[in-house]
Amino acid sequence: MPTHVRDLFSSDNFEERRSRRVSYKRHQRLFVPAHRDRVLVRDHRVRENLLVAESSKKVVDYCSTGLQREVAPHMRKIVTDWMMEVCEDQQCQPQVFFLAVSYLDRVLSSLNIKKNQFQLLAAVCILLASKFSQVVPITTEQLVIYTDNSVTVEELKSWELFVLEILGWELYTPTAHDFLDHLGKCDVDTKRQAETIAAMAATEYKFIAAKQSVIAAASLAAAVQ
């Protein structure tokens, strides 16, 4: 197949797919997670678009400005650590956690909540990020269990629509995980370590106003060293 034609297709494991034989059973459901597309990663226009989109999503210092009167930085640390544990336990794609934290900060940057609503909001953010990024999303029933039944399925469904309205139904936002693929070639272990460092940074309140591209670059530099 000509090169210019191949570039029109998603290139994830293109050569491997052609030689691989996959057997199907009738009515069998296949869950195939998204793969890294080498064509998109090599295109500098994608990186430029990520940088532009990054600037359009505003997160403010909602604790220091008084926007959140019942939410403190240490509470955010506890909640985001819990979010990470849920995503890890469910073996979610890394992007799920990064998106969920982004939703959390965007909502808290524009809406005052009560302390007893914090975990409910975090659970809804995981639910939305999971639906957006996962082939098989986390269910509301599972999230209720992770909250020790402190929230209900009805509350999750109600707040899901509420949070979507706050976010303006804009569920995609560039995260540190997105930028890692565009910062140069690195081996799998280095990238995994950079993802871990970036995820740890996402749980720290002092980094909420930092650009995701900067966090990704710093995480990759730390992983390489």
Report, as an integer, the average pLDDT of 164-181: 88
pLDDT (tens digit, 9 = 90+) per residue, 194-219? Answer: 999 999 999 999 999 888 888 988 99
Report, as an integer, the average pLDDT of 105-126: 95
What pLDDT is stored for residue 134 in this prediction? Answer: 86
What pLDDT is stored for residue 11 in this prediction? Answer: 44
- What's the pLDDT band for 52 if we cut at 50, 70, 90? low
Query: Is residue 121 within 8 Å of residue 113, measured between CB atoms?
Result: yes
Look at 31-40, 48-57, 112-121, 216-225 and tell me which has the smallest mean pLDDT. 31-40
Q: How far apart are CA 99 and CA 205, in angstroms?
A: 16
What pLDDT is stored for residue 79 in this prediction? Answer: 97
Tokens of 199: 């995820």
Give the per-residue SS3 of 35-61.
CCCHHHHHCHHHHHHHHHHHHHCCCCC
Tokens of 178: 């997105």
What percent of the chain lies above the pLDDT cut of 70?
75
Q: Which residue has the higher pLDDT, 8 or 163?
A: 163
User: Which pTM does this prediction carry?
Assistant: 0.78
What percent of the chain lies above the pLDDT cut of 90?
52
What pLDDT is stored for residue 90 in this prediction? Answer: 93
Instruction: Return phi, psi of residue 103, to 5°.
Output: -60, -45
Give the per-residue SS3 of the chain.
CCHHHHCCCCCCCHHHHHHCCCCCCCCCCCCCCCCCCHHHHHCHHHHHHHHHHHHHCCCCCCCCCCCCCCCCHHHHHHHHHHHHHHHHHCCCCHHHHHHHHHHHHHHHCCCCCCHHHHHHHHHHHHHHHHHHHCCCCCCHHHHHHHCCCCCCHHHHHHHHHHHHHHCCCCCCCCCHHHHHCCCCCCCHHHHHHHHHHHHHHHCCHHHCCCCHHHHHHHHHHHHHC
Q: Which residue has the higher pLDDT, 183 or 200?
A: 200
pLDDT (tens digit, 9 = 90+) per residue, 11-29? Answer: 444 444 444 444 445 555 5
User: CA–CA distance from 113 to each of 62, 71, 108, 124, 145 (Å)?
Assistant: 11, 8, 8, 14, 22
Q: How far apart are CA 161 and CA 182, in angstroms?
A: 33
Q: First vs last Cα of the chain: how many Å apart?
A: 41
